Each structure stands twice: as structure tokens, then as C-alpha cells.
Amino acid sequence: MTAAITGLANALPPQHDQGALWRDFFADHFGQRRAAERAWAQSGIARRHGVVDPRIEDVSTWGTRARMQRFLAEAMPLGKDALSAALDDAGLAAEELDQLVVVSCTGYATPGLDILLARDLGLAPHAQRLHIGHMGCYAAIPALAAASDAARARAQRVAVLSVELTSLHVQPPDPDIEQVVAHALFADAAAAAVLTPGPGLEIRDFEARTATAHADLMAWDVTDRGFRMRLSPRVPTVLREHVADAVDTLLARHDLDRADVAAWAVHPGGPRIIDVAADRLGLDEGQVAASRHVLAERGNCSSATVLLILEELRDRGELTHDGPVVALAFGPGLTLYAALLHAGGA
């Protein structure tokens, strides 16, 4: 039995102009430093979305409890909209779902989004639930792996929902350039995928690499002032060492090579991440155009981003022809996850 993505959708909070965010808030927040302004300008982002507009509401002094309460209030309607749209896209009613997988590294509550959304959307009482928390930007891919296993082995209909609200974690002023980069890159989104047995954007295989010797290069620390990003400029260098081997290993198991791949969904951790992945994999600008577009118009939405790119590829018509599709995402660990999909229902 095969498992395939048959529905994709997203829900976004209000849009903010990247330049205006710098001029009207973050320039003062980071002390009007020229190096900070350069780092902001190099983000590759023109617009992004956020439940919090820091020009109106400065949450940088909030405690973690207040941020978590706000997370639940904002994530519920976004998650409900994204899930409902993905179910409509797949032609399923909520009560037909057998399992709901919720992914987030930006907020928590118990009862969680999985329980509350199951209640509000009308999932059946027997519907199973899985929450994947604090894995970071790559988490949607292991979520798809778990969902595809359930669809393939037990004929389940599964929804994967990623909700990331990084705007809730603006930190107090700090001269650390890593904080400037983190605040420049990350944005908010909810994205959902529905997986069912049978034809569609078939999910075939996965590959992972975790460079534990470099675990300190990227982290998402829980503090008394929300969650604080650690993001070393050495991340692209480590990624360069592993991305080609991971992709080639994944493809080789299916007697494929890079030239066979019809479309690429490369997580845009930042412009340098896309550059490194493209260089090591031999991809041209057209093959990473969807990734750059999502970065420019949405920002880095953590785990939701790879689902947004798959939706962008579909909307561009790049998933209409029969052929392999590779999705890549990177995050703490330092971890790389790759998924092999197949478009065209073959």
C-alpha cells in the first residue's frame, strides 16, 4: 500500500514589511549598530507574517507563561483554518481522520493543540493524536514519516499540522549578532498536509543525518523570557559536509540520482543555507526558486516552511509531472532530514 499527500494548505497571520520592522522597532532594539543593520538587510526577506507586530506590542520583556498563553490563543484559529483548508483540499471531512499529528517548537499547552483542535473540528473520539515538540525547523519531515507509516501500514487517514509563532519570542535587547540574525529570519505560519493511502504526492522514503559533534551550533533554549535562539554562522559549513551524501544515499536506494529529481523543496534556513545546498547538490536557480520565494515572502517559518514550499511547488505546476521530488530541512542537532516523494501518482 502507498501513502500520499492529498491535501495541502496554510493559514497566515498579518503581513509585515521587513524594512519597516527594522526602521520602526529593531533598529533601536539593537542599538542602531551598522553590523546589525547589515545582517538584517542580508536576510533575503521582503515580507513576513507575525501574530505580534513589535511596533505595536513589544513582548520582549514578557515572561514565558504569558507567551505560552498567547501562543494558545493565536495558534488555535490559525491551526483550525489550515487544517480545515487542507481537509477540503483532500476531499475529507474532519470526522474521517484517523490521526492528527501536531508539530511545534514555539508553544505548548496541556490540553494541547491536538486535543483542542480535535474537539473544535469534530474529530471522531477514536482518532489518534501525536504531538512532536521542540525538534525545530526539520520537524515536519519526521512528522510526515510517522504519518506515512500509519497510512501505509494501517490504512489510516492522517493530518499533519505545523504551527510556529516565533514572533512571540522576541528577546530583550542583546548585542549578540546571532540574535539579530534570528530575529531577522524567523516568522509565523500554520501549514497542514493530509495523507491518505493511495495515489497523490506519494511519500516513498526518508534519510537523516545528525552531526552531534556540532550540537552546540544551533539551539532553542527555554528561558524565563520565552525561547532564545542560538544560531552559529558555522551552520552552513557543517551542512555542506553532509547534504550531498544524505541526498545521494536516499536516491540510490531507489536507483535514482540527482538528475532524476523533478522538483526540490529546500528549507530556506537563510540565504546561505539555500546557497550551500544548491552548490553541493548542483542545483540551478530555477530549482531553488520556490525556496527563495517562500523565504522572501514568508520568512523562515521553522517547521512549517517545508510544507509551504511543497504547496508553492504545487501552485507553480511543478508537481504535475510524473517524477521524484526531494524535500530537505535542517535544524538543531545539528540535523538534516530528507524526504523522497513522487509526483504524478505513479
- Specify whether 185 is located in the same domain as 245: no
Q: What is the pLDDT confidence band of residue 1, given thresholds at 50, 70 and 90? A: confident
Given the residues 137, 143, 288, 329, select the one marked as catalytic.
Answer: 137
| pLDDT given at position 153 | 96
| pLDDT given at position 247 | 98
| pLDDT given at position 346 | 39
| pLDDT given at position 321 | 83
pLDDT in tens, 146-174: 999 999 999 999 999 999 999 999 999 99
Which of 197, 229, 244 is the last residue before a domain boundary? 197
- Specify whether 185 is located in the same domain as 278: no
Domain count, the chain: 2
- Specify whether 154 is located in the same domain as 234: no
- Specify whether 190 is located in the same domain as 238: no
User: What is the b/e burial string over 133-163, where b = at least 16 CB atoms within 10 angstroms of the residue's CB?
Assistant: eebbbbbbbbbbbbbbbbbbeeebbbbbbbb
CA atoms within 13 A on the CB side of 54: 28
Q: What is the pLDDT confidence band of residue 320, given thresholds at 50, 70 and 90? A: confident
pLDDT in tens, 227-253: 999 888 999 999 999 999 999 999 999
- Specify whether 128 is located in the same domain as 182: yes
Q: Which residue type occupies 175? A: P
| pLDDT given at position 150 | 97
- Specify whether 41 is located in the same domain as 147: yes
With a cut of 60, say whether residue 295 has pLDDT above it.
yes
- Specify whether 177 is located in the same domain as 241: no
Mean pLDDT of the chain: 96
Residue 297: domain span: 201-343
| pLDDT given at position 344 | 84
In angstroms, the first-to-last Cα distance of the chain is 12
- Specify whether 17 is located in the same domain as 100: yes
- Mean predicted confidence (pLDDT) in 184-200: 97
Q: What backbone torsions phi and psi does residue 25 show, to the nearest 5 degrees? A: -145, -60
- Specify whether 174 is located in the same domain as 186: yes
Where residue 150 sits, what CATH number does that domain have? 3.40.47.10
| pLDDT given at position 45 | 98
- Specify whether 111 is located in the same domain as 189: yes
- Specify whether 186 is located in the same domain as 217: no
Q: What is the pLDDT confidence band of residue 345, given thresholds at 50, 70 and 90? A: very low
- Specify whether 168 is located in the same domain as 106: yes
CA distance 102 to 218: 23
137 is catalytic: yes
What torsion, rounded to 10 degrees, do the Cα atoms 73, 75, 78, 80 define? -90
Q: What is the pLDDT confidence band of residue 126, given thresholds at 50, 70 and 90? A: very high
Which of 197, 220, 252 is the last residue before a domain boundary? 197
Q: What is the pLDDT confidence band of residue 270, given thresholds at 50, 70 and 90? A: very high
Which of 197, 228, 246 is the last residue before a domain boundary? 197
- Mean predicted confidence (pLDDT) in 114-141: 97
Asked if 262 and 321 count as a contact pair (C-beta separation under 8 A), the reply is yes
> Residues 192, 194, 197, CA angle at the centre, nearest 5°?
160
Q: What is the pLDDT confidence band of residue 113, given thresholds at 50, 70 and 90? A: very high
In the chain, the percentage of residues whose pLDDT exceeds 90 is 95
CA distance 192 to 241: 31
